[in-house]
Structure 1
Amino acid sequence: MLTPATGVDVLSRRRRPAAPFAPSRTGRRPRPTTARERRAMAWAYARAAGRSDEMVTAVLLAITVVVAAAVVALAPHLGGRLVARELVLCAAAAAYFGLTWGALRTGAGRRATALRWLGATVEPAIVTVALWIVAHTNGAAWAAAAPAWALYAVVMAANVLRMDPRLCVYGGAVAVLGHLAVYFGAVAPGLTAADVARVPPLGAWGAWAGALWLSLVAAALAVATERMRRLAITGGSEVWRRQRLEAELSRFVSPDVAQAILRGDAVAGAAERREVTVLFCDLRDFTGLCERWAPEDVVALLNEFYEEACRLIRNHGGTVNKFLGDGLLALFGAPDEHPNHAQAAAEAAHEIVYAVDSLRERGGVWAHLDVGIGLDSGHVVCGAVGAQSRLEYTAIGSVVNRAARLQGLSKRANRRIVLSRDCVDRLGPRANVVALGEVPLKGFDDPVAVYAFRYS
């Protein structure tokens, strides 16, 4: 099986040239200030509003298509001239909505803002033109009874999705002016006294009542939009704070443990039994390294080694459980289960070794860098251990202790990766290992069968 990062067959250990060592990111992550948080929320809100604009335009385009289809279906009852004029208007509206949608997809900043205000102006105007065409083509009575008046409410409601209460007020004002302009400019001149006497709402007071109704709807929509906007900003701010907190926690514990802490699952005594592979890694001759080189150089070496080792462990589904001075303890199979935890740990171990080789080629303080790794598989108890005021997620069991002893044995055995029989059994028959015999380990009554990869 070839690993993608290094081109190494973990089971047969046929080594190919290692990939170049990726430069790691150094320094602390910038802590966002309150002003930065506000800018982030404003950007997120603007992005959400832009997506809402696209959705509004797409919905109005669909409504235009439906209206055009309805006009065609009702053509025998509407008359040829009205159908032709309404279809021309629908085609123009569809072209406008299509172009606006395309512009919103590629536009940002001032262009998107201008398109929002343009939409709040043009959309009620389209309804006004449609009613004017009906009044001049089929008469005032037709226009007064046309269902197109309800489209004013539809285009006003569309402004809610633009998440700007000012657009709701402005769009409502344009709709009210259009409503009054159609009535007094096209409908009222064609009505007779008999029409008004027969249907009183056709009179001027009915037009003013409709204008008042549209104004109240616009005000209600503006209030609802402002409320929705505040909830969106508050919710987005909470999500952003949670993500920032999770990112900060992940610098001290693994991402999985950080999520458990934020969920409130990290409770003292909450433990579970898991089958895992433990990887215990330690830098060799670190004390001598500290004596020969300046502390700043040693800290830089240690940080970069940890950065790369953690990245490789995460890439293979492992969790860095803790740092131990010049070493680290990683778990494969906890807190999240891993179906091939032994294979993943072996691949991560070999890639760490090859990364160290790449670092050593730099010379200087890096020339003395070397590593020893111990691997063991078995059952451990994982969970939050400690007092309620201070908890630590850890794994407890003989597997952890044995992996640490195997790592200590690696230098005496002149091997960089040493593993137990349990780990070899889980790797399967293709594991290209060599037996080092049964070795007594401190803290264990019986000798332990020890193995190493042939090319480690």
Structure 2
Amino acid sequence: MSSAFLKRPKTRKEPVIVRPRLSSALTSIRQLRSKYLISDATERLIREADVAALKRAGQARIAIAAILFMGLVTVQLSDTITSPFALKQIHGAEVALFVFGAVGWVMVWMASRRILVDALPTVIAVLDALLILGNLAFNHWSLGIPGSLFAMYPAVWVMPVIMAATAIYYQPRLQAFVGLVYVVGLSIIAFSDPQPSPEEFSRIIGGMWSAFTWQSNMMRIVTVLTASLVLFLVVRQGRLILERAVRETTLRLNLTRYLPRELAPILSERSFESLRTGRRIPVTLMFVDIRASSSFGETMDPTRLAIFITSFRRRVLQAAAQHGGLIDKFTGDGALILFGVPTEKPDDTARALACGRRLLALIERWNAKRGFNPPVRIGIGIHRGEVFCGVVGDEDRLEFTVLGETVNTAARIEQATKSADCDLLASWDAIEAAGEDGLWAPAEHEPLRGVTRKIVLMRPQPQKAA
């Protein structure tokens, strides 16, 4: 072949402006979609982080309840607490802490079984608000303490702990909702009664001297300690999530330099280890090659040759993407496309055959569009069988590959398209797996070189005119 492959009729006008603009627009759309849509891998990481956050939040609640409960018991056992007000406060706090810890245990149990993972944080936050604000309302209305003195209630000191524990979920809307609930609830309690007079205020404070003893202040310090522990857990969990995300992103960026881009969404530390180990799986392979490529490769100038090969590969990419094929590699003017990697599907072989027909149609349109003389012809060989699939090589040069007799057979089928004078050939194994027996006919061909077992090759039957 000669450089005539790239010559166009002089009378044809090339839309040199519209096509690049359209291509640029399509590229921009793809970039926007990839930017704003969450990939399966990202969604999986978020789901795992949500479950882990629920477990840690439940465990933190149990630990907080235990610490504060022991502090209250220590204060109660001291003989210095004799005020009925203080004793009622302690008993109410003990009941609240028991419920608080029990809810934490329920959280851990439900998170372990993936029950209501999405709704559980909101439900727990609402229950916490009802528990804390209900305790404050009880102190206010049953004990007759003015709402303006809410700062002396022990439950108020627990609020920062609860709000810090909510941060474990990493849900900004939930955090804002919790803050609003507590602000509204405290405002109702604080401003529901008129401000007491100075004399009444002095009398009330005089009867609440136990709220300012060393035991009470110790409980406040313990509350601050638990809040700091919860915040430590929040920061630590955020750091772990960040490190994991950076690790997996770095791994994905490094591996996509060598591995097919279609594998990028599923690449993680665990899946990469599986690829490194390798496995044997049934796949459908499609080999594609341009006929008589060596002749025009020697005569065509480098610039035109680069444009020609790029245009060809773009059409291969288009056909593979439309039918869910994974391009294992481009080999000069050819390509190997896999169907069934990384996950096997029932229609793998049917999609491979459809991809072959689609690629032939694209090449035919390319010929008509560019007026190649002689026209571009390709050979396509499709076969199905078991292969070794995995990542081989050292850290400096990794390569995703498939190996085995099935691969060699598929390559020989593609080469047989020359002697059979047919652009598309498929093995009977592939035709049977796709359920297209009536659309194909046996093809006469020479024995496949290097293939020991008998392979029956099939060619598409001519489509009858309607």
**Smaller-chain TM-score bracket:** 0.5 to 0.7
Contact in 1 for aligned 2:379/2:424 (Cα 8 Å): yes
Q: Is the 8 A contact 2:323 2:354 kept in 1?
A: yes
Verify the 8 A CA contact 1:321 1:331 in the aligned structure 2: yes
The reply on whether 1:239 has 2:245 as its aligned counterpart is yes
Q: Distance in 2 between matches of 1:411 and 1:155?
A: 79
What RMSD in Å do the two structures reach over aligned CA positions? 5.5
Partner residue in 1 for 2:156: 152
Q: 1:151 to 1:449 in 2, by over 3 A?
A: same
SS at 2:458's partner residue?
strand
Aligned partners of 1:297 and 1:365 also within 8 Å: no
Determine whether 1:378 maps to 2:388: no
- 1:190 equivalent in alignment to 2:200: yes
Q: CA deviation at 1:375?
A: 0.8
Other structure's SS at 2:241 match:
helix
Offset of 1:352 from its aligned partner?
2.2
Name the CA distance, whole Å, in 2 between partners of 1:367 and 1:341: 34
TM-score norm. by structure 2 comes to 0.53
Instruction: Name 1:279's counterpart in structure 2.
Output: 286
Distance 1:150 1:251, change over 3 A: same
Matched residue type, 1:419: A
* Match among 256, 261, 278 for residue 250 of structure 1: 256
Gaps of 5+ in 1: 1-19, 31-44, 53-122
CA deviation after TM superposition for structure 1 residue 372, in Å: 1.7
Amino acid at match of 2:251: L
| Matched residue, 1:425 | 432
What is the aligned partner in structure 2 of residue 264 from structure 1?
A: 273
**Hey, what's the Cα distance between the residues in 1 that align with 2:372 and 2:242?**
46
Match of 1:405 in 2: 412
Distance in 2 separating the partners of 1:278 and 1:142: 79
Find the residue that maps to 1:437 and give its secondary structure: coil
Q: Quick one: structure 1 residues 230 and 275, their matched pair in 2 at CA, closer, same or farther if it must change by over 3 Å?
A: closer
**Matched residues in 2 for 1:229 and 1:323: separation?**
46
SS, match of residue 450 in structure 2: coil
Task: Give the letter for the 2:460 counterpart.
Answer: F
Conservation of the 8 A alpha-carbon contact between 2:367 and 2:375: yes
- Structure 2: distance between partners of 1:207 and 1:300: 85
Match of 1:324 among 326, 331, 336: 331
Matching residue's letter, 1:417: L
Q: How many residues align?
A: 328
Q: For 1:312 and 1:321, how far apart are their aligned partners in 2?
A: 14
Please give the secondary structure, in 2, of the residue aligned with 1:235. Answer: helix
SS in 1 for 2:358: helix
Segment drifting more, 370-379 vs 430-439: 430-439
> What per-residue deviation string (whole Å, max 9, x for no partner) do you get for residues 369-388 of structure 1?
44221011233344455679
TM-aligned CA distance change 1:305 to 1:206, over 3 Å: farther
User: Counterpart of 2:333 in structure 1: which amino acid?
Assistant: D
| Structure 2 spans left out of the alignment, 5+ residues | 1-18, 32-45, 54-128
- Separation (CA, whole Å) in 2 of partners of 1:318 and 1:224: 48
Secondary structure at the counterpart of residue 443 of structure 2: strand
Structure with higher RCO (Cα < 8 A, 6+ apart): 2
**d(CA) in 2 for partners of 1:452 and 1:395?**
25
Report the Cα distance in structure 1 between the residues aligned to 2:216 and 2:223, rounded to whole angstroms: 11
CA spacing shift, 1:184–1:190, aligned 2, 3 Å: same
1:395 and 2:402 matched: yes
Partner of 1:290 in structure 2? Answer: 297
Distance 1:444 1:205 in 2: 91
Query: In the TM superposition, what are the counterparts of 1:297-376 in structure 2 within 5 Å?
Result: 297-310=304-317, 312-363=319-370, 369-376=376-383
Give the counterpart letter for 2:200 in structure 1: G
